[in-house]
Every structure is written in C-alpha cells, then in structure tokens.
Amino acid sequence: MNKKHLMSLAFDLASKGGSKTFPNPNVGAIIYKDGKIIGKGFHRFFGDHHAEIHALNEAGENAKESMMFVTLEPCSHYGKTPPCVDAIIKAGVKKVFIAMKDPNPLVSGNGIKKLISANIQVEVGLLEKKAKKFYQDYSKRFTKKTSFVSLKYAMTLDGKIATSTGDSKWISSEKSREWVHKFRTQFDGILVGVNTIIKDNPELTSHGKGKNPVRIILDPDLIIPLNSKVIKDENPTVIIHSNIKSEKIKRLQKHNKFLIYIKSKNGLIDFRKILDELRRISIFSVLIEGGGFTNWSALKSGVVDEIVTFVSPKIVGGKNSITPVEGEGIQKISKALKTKITRFEKIGEDILIISKVIKNE
C-alpha cells in the first residue's frame, strides 16, 4: 500500500467521528509496519482519547519502528487528554506522516517540532489538499473574525409570539414550520434561551431536512433540566453559562455537552462575547430563536444581521401576551432599531418578511 492510500484510509476513519467529536475536529490515525496496518484509531466523541492514542493502543509494543499516518498535526499540549506527541515518542514510532499542520496559531508546528526534537522523521503535507478541505470549518476558527447572526420568530397578526399562559403551539402554519426546519440547515448553530427548553423541550433540529446545527443554550444559572431532549440526545449541544460554581457542570459534561463559561454583567451575558467563543468552536453562523428577552439582548448588543419574521393571520390579544422583542425597550420611535426589508412572500397561510438590520457603525 502506498502512503497516499494509507493517509486516505486515515481520513475515512476520521470521518467516523461525525458530529460527536464536537467541538473537537475529526481526526484519524493509522500505524503501518512491514506492509501491514497494525493500528487504527479515530477520535470517537468529545472527551474520548485522540485518534493517535487509539491506534497506538491497538498496535501495542509492535508500534516500535512503525510509521504513523495522521490526518492532523498531533497535539503537544494538555487538553482533556495528555499530549499525543508524548505517547508517539514513547512508543518509538519511526516516522510520522501528517496531512496538515494544526491551523491553531498557538499550537501550529509545536507538535511537529517536538517530534523532530525526539529524532522522529516527520513528513507534513501528504494529501494536504484533501486535508485543507476536510478541516475548512476548523481552520476558520483561527482566521474568521466575524459571525453571521439571524434572528427568527413567528408572531400573530397582532404581534404576539405566545399567549399570556405561554402557549405558542402553533402560531405559524405547517408550511412555515417546514420552511424553518430547512432554513436551520444553513446555520452552524441555533441559539435559544433556557426558558424555551424548559417550556417547550424542543429538539431544535432540521427534522431530517439536512445538516443539524449545533444547539446553543443560553443558561446563565445552569437551570437546564438534565432530561431535556437537547441534553439526552447525541447531537451536539453547547451551554453558555455564568455559574462557575454549579455542581451541574460535571453532570452536564458527563452527557458530553460542551459548556462555555462567560462572566455575566448585571445578569446579562454579552452577545459579542458569546459569538467570540462560538467562533473558537467553528460556529460562524447562528440562528437565534429566542424569546422576547433573549431577542432583545441580542438586538441590543448589535450582533444581529438579519431578522426573519413570520406573520401569521391570527389574533390573540392580551395585555400580558408575549411579544417577539421585550426587555427594557426603546422609548422613542425615532430611536428605533431600523431594518430594511429584503424579501417578503406568502408561505402557507403566513407572510414571511426578511429584513437586514441597518448598523450605524
């Protein structure tokens, strides 16, 4: 077997990790010696051993004087697991083929340097073109500095997203909801407030219409129920919180959910900081499907690029019904946040309005 073929097999292995390794990238590794593959490994889920470790474990003592094919530069720093380069050196691997350097500027090249210092032969760039495509989203983490944010809600003809009792099923027609499921596939992440999880326990998926975005739950006090669908199922979920001391952190991590801690200010988490953190885990486009308060926080922070509104021809009235954007609000109409309608059409029984937020920057 030629080396390109072996690296290609490593990529096939890498792919098996799928969305379960989130937010880690998919990595595959193969150990080859005397014309035979003696070890195979891939990163199976977030918190699991890295690909190199699985492959070394399979090869055992036989790894000595072998060749390793790995899809991404082995790590040289402590993360959730000890550095892979240390294990490679210890196993006595003779030569390491690496498809691509780690694009993270803080680690890029350090793994390679450490291997070379240990007198291991290193060849970087085998199937590099394939690797660049494979790690496209992961690479963006270290280059892309902006996110695209869309805010979506369905309201009645009299401007309500839920009645005074919190009922919101269903404001928009079935066709509109199907449109939304498909629309979700265009996003890396879909963000809601924890109250939406508590009240509706939604799946927040594309319902088979395509790629599922990562669920992002804004939950400052970590009050999310552990039996929520977004916690129990296997799709990735990110929880953004401000409660560093919560004993729930460990229990959520056991469910392989990814927690991001951001300090809050007056009980509010800054949406700009949220987006900064999300870019670090390859989430560059976010669809916000929040309640009135989450939507207000996002709009106020100036991160929203576009608003997707469904207007459903129903009237519910009610002084205490819930509206799409609440919070403190703006007092003068002349100071209102302005948008420009870029598209409007009838979807099922409803009117869809898409508008671009006009930013004064």
Kindly state whether residue 316 participates in binding a copy of itself, applying the rule CB under 8 A. yes
**Residue 336 beta carbon to a copy of itself: minimum distance, rounded to whole angstroms:** 4
Of the candidate residues 89, 122, 124, 330, the single one contacting a copy of itself (CB under 8 A): 330
Identify the CA nearest to 143 among candidates 153, 151, 135.
135
Q: Which is nearer to a copy of itself, 22 or 183 (CB)?
A: 183
Q: Which is nearer to a copy of itself, 7 or 151 (CB)?
A: 151
**Residue 149 beta carbon to a copy of itself: minimum distance, rounded to whole angstroms:** 14
Kindly state whether residue 326 participates in binding a copy of itself, applying the rule CB under 8 A. yes
Of the candidate residues 27, 126, 303, 307, the single one contacting a copy of itself (CB under 8 A): 307
Of the candidate residues 13, 155, 180, 286, the single one contacting a copy of itself (CB under 8 A): 155
Q: Which is nearer to a copy of itself, 56 or 303 (CB)?
A: 303
Tokens of 25: 């990238």
Kindly state whether residue 123 participates in binding a copy of itself, applying the rule CB under 8 A. no
End-to-end Cα spacing for the chain: 57
Of the candidate residues 108, 264, 339, 347, the single one contacting a copy of itself (CB under 8 A): 339
Give the DSSP H or E segment for 140. Answer: helix 136-140
**Residue 201 beta carbon to a copy of itself: minimum distance, rounded to whole angstroms:** 17
CA dihedral 70, 214, 282, 285 (to 10 degrees): 150
Identify the CA nearest to 149 among candidates 13, 274, 321.
274
Residues 224, 179: Cα–Cα separation, whole Å: 28
Cis peptide before 170 (omega within 30 of 0): yes
Window 172-191: contact mask with a copy of itself (x via CB under 8 A): --------------------
Window 14-53: contact mask with a copy of itself (x via CB under 8 A): ----------------------------------------
Strand partners, 68: 31, 96
Strand partners, 351: 311, 346
Of the candidate residues 168, 206, 212, 237, the single one contacting a copy of itself (CB under 8 A): 168
Strand partners, 307: 151, 355
Kindly state whether residue 282 participates in binding a copy of itself, applying the rule CB under 8 A. no
Q: Which is nearer to a copy of itself, 24 or 196 (CB)?
A: 196
Of the candidate residues 164, 198, 225, 251, the single one contacting a copy of itself (CB under 8 A): 164
Kindly state whether residue 318 participates in binding a copy of itself, applying the rule CB under 8 A. yes
What does R_g of the chain's alpha carbons equal in angstroms?
24
**Residue 146 beta carbon to a copy of itself: minimum distance, rounded to whole angstroms:** 21
Residue 280's contacts (CB-CB under 8 Å, 6 or more residues apart) are: 23, 141
Of the candidate residues 35, 78, 143, 169, the single one contacting a copy of itself (CB under 8 A): 169
Kindly state whether residue 314 participates in binding a copy of itself, applying the rule CB under 8 A. yes
Active site (annotated) includes residue 52: yes
Kindly state whether residue 336 participates in binding a copy of itself, applying the rule CB under 8 A. yes
Handedness of CA 275, 281, 282, 288 (dihedral sign): negative
Q: Which is nearer to a copy of itself, 123 or 158 (CB)?
A: 158
CA distances (Å), 273 to each of 104, 107, 262, 322, in order? Answer: 19, 23, 7, 27
Identify the CA nearest to 27 among candidates 46, 6, 48, 41.
41
The phi-psi region of residue 340 (left if phi > 0; otherwise alpha if psi is between -120 and 50; otherwise beta) is beta
77-110 burial, b at 16+ Cβ within 10 Å, e below that, comes to: eeeeeebbbebbbebebebbbbbbbbbbeebeeb
Of the candidate residues 25, 39, 290, 324, the single one contacting a copy of itself (CB under 8 A): 324
Residues forming contacts to a copy of itself in the complex (CB under 8 A) are: 155-160, 162-165, 167-171, 292, 295-296, 299-300, 307, 309, 311, 313-321, 323-334, 336-341, 344, 346, 349, 351, 353, 355
